[in-house]
Structures are given as C-alpha cells and as structure tokens.
C-alpha cells in the first residue's frame, strides 16, 4: 500500500491523544463533573477511532484487495465505528446530564462547531463507499482520518482550556482571633 507510513504516523499521533486523555483523567482524580468525564470520554473515543481508521488500510492491504475494495472495506469499518462512538457516548449518563443543563442554543452551537469537521469527514467516507470518484478514494479516506485527528485535537484543546484551576495548597492553619487578653 502506498501510504502505509502516513497512516501509521496518524495512528501514532492519535495514540498520543489517548495518552493525554488518560493522563488528564488520572490527574483529575475521580471527577464527578459530567462535563469533564464526557470530555475525556469523547477525546479518547475519537482518538481511538483515528487509531483504528488509520490502521485499517494497513491491515486490509495485507490481503491484497484490488482498488476500490480496500477503501470500501476501510470506509465501512470507519463509518461503523463512528456510529458506535456516537451511540456509546450518547447513551452515557454523563451525556444526558450535561446536555440537560444546556440551552438548545448551546447544544446547537457545540454541534455546529463539531460538524465543521465531522460532516466532511463522514461525507468523504460516504463518497468512498458509493464509489463516486474511484481515483480519489485514497485521498478521501486519508482526509477523513486527518479530519478525525483534527477533531481529537480540538477535543484535547477544549478539555485543556476547560480544566478548573488547581486548588491552592493549604498553608498552616490559622488560629482564631481572640478578643480578650490573657492574664
């Protein structure tokens, strides 16, 4: 396969995002804030999607499929996994809790930002599945995986900027002030 090294690099970069997500999860302790839990889950889910989507063509190519077949199989795997990511994250209690606290405008705003990346990502995969431009299938698939990586990077960036400030270290306990004199 022509771009095996590029796909392996994308998988490696996405693996780093998974590591950062895990590090943030550990650093946050056992966070009960639904937004933090959801953000970490989303980051790890999307980054794992990128890892699988990037490794799929490398694995499938070992079976020597012809032209459209490799990109069809890879795109179907990527689309199925994306549906699984959405279902698993969408059914989580943290998602329901977080969205319940949002106004309709907030939900639409967040979805619109994400849609700038995942609509073209999914669109590229659908174009491959439909076989509309066979000579561009490798580029379309690579674009989809790259957009998934950008989506994971955006999730990481949002998570980093949304982290609460660490609590100040507590100093020595202050003694209560007394109003009287000792005799």
* pLDDT tens for each residue of 76-109: 999 999 999 999 888 888 777 777 777 777 777 7
Residue 179 confidence (pLDDT) above 60? no
Q: How far apart are CA 52 and CA 151, in angstroms?
A: 15
Residue 171: what pLDDT? Answer: 46
Give the number of other CB atoms < 10 A from CB of residue 107: 12
Tokens 């795109």 -> residue: 75
Reported confidence tier of residue 124, pLDDT bands at 50, 70, 90? very high
Nearest CA among 59, 118, 60, 127 for reference residue 85: 118
Nearest CA among 157, 80, 49, 160 for reference residue 113: 157
Residue 175: what pLDDT? Answer: 45
The answer to whether residues 107 and 99 touch, using CB atoms and an 8 Å cutoff, is yes
* CATH class, 4-162 region: mainly alpha
Tokens 């895990």 -> residue: 22
Residue 174: what pLDDT? Answer: 45
Q: How far apart are CA 168 and CA 171, in angstroms?
A: 9
* C-alpha separations of 151 from 44, 53, 158 in Å: 11, 14, 11
């Amino acid at each position: 396969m022509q771009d095996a090294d590029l796909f392996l690099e994308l998988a490696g970069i996405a693996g780093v995002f998974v590591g950062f997500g895990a590090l943030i999860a550990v650093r946050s302790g056992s966070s009960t804030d639904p937004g933090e839990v959801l953000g970490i889950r989303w980051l790890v889910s999307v980054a794992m999607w990128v890892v699988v989507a990037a490794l799929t063509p490398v694995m499938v190519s070992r079976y020597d499929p012809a032209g459209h077949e490799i990109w069809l199989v890879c795109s179907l795997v990527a689309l199925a996994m994306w549906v699984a990511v959405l279902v698993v994250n969408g059914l989580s209690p943290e998602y329901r809790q977080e969205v319940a606290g949002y106004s309709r405008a907030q939900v639409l705003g967040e979805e619109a930002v994400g849609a700038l990346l995942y609509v073209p990502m999914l669109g590229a995969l659908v174009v491959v599945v439909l076989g509309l431009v066979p000579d561009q299938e490798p580029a379309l698939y690579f674009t989809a995986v790259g957009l998934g990586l950008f989506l994971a990077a955006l999730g990481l960036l949002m998570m980093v900027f949304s982290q609460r400030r660490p609590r100040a270290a507590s100093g020595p306990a202050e003694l209560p002030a007394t109003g009287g004199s000792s005799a």
